[in-house]
Amino acid sequence: MPALLKRAGADVGDLLVVCDNLDLPPGTVRLKRKGSARSHNGLASIMGILGTGEFMRLYVGIGRPESGDSVVDHVLGCPPEREAELYEGAVSLAAWAVEALLTESADVVMNALNRRS
């Protein structure tokens, strides 16, 4: 277990990772208990350090780039202006979910996020 988790008196199951997701439409937010990294390099790196995927993930949808556009540029670049409002809403919703997880169960938060779709 990494030193930071040890020092906090936490285990991997207490960890929440907030990350982007190409497979969710822009503005969509989903909470998942655990899983694989699939093709997400950031999650793969975290899982390599932790040695497990047994942590929660809060996915913020960014959608896929338009045909012919670079995935790297899409992920690391500025979002298209036409989607700015969707991203702002997703950031607010993700912040709500992080705060809600401090007082509510993951099931309650997941149900609330799934109802919004």
Q: What is the pLDDT of residues 42-72, one digit of tens each?
A: 999 999 989 899 999 999 999 998 888 888 8
Residue 66 lies in a domain: yes
Residue 16 lies in a domain: yes
User: If you average pLDDT over residues 21-40, what whole number do you get?
Assistant: 90
Give the residue with greater pLDDT, 93 vs 68: 93
Residue 97 lies in a domain: yes
Answer yes or no: are the C-beta atoms of 29 and 90 closer than 8 Å: yes
Backbone region of residue 104 per phi and psi (left: phi > 0; alpha: psi in -120 to 50; beta: other values): beta
- Checking if the pLDDT of 1 tops 80, the result is no
Domain with residue 56: its CATH number is 3.40.50.1470
d(CA 109, CA 28): 14
Residue 116 lies in a domain: no
Residue 28 lies in a domain: yes
Residue 83 lies in a domain: yes
Number of domains the chain is built from: 1
Q: Which domain holds residue 96?
A: 3-109
Answer yes or no: are the C-beta atoms of 37 and 47 closer than 8 Å: yes
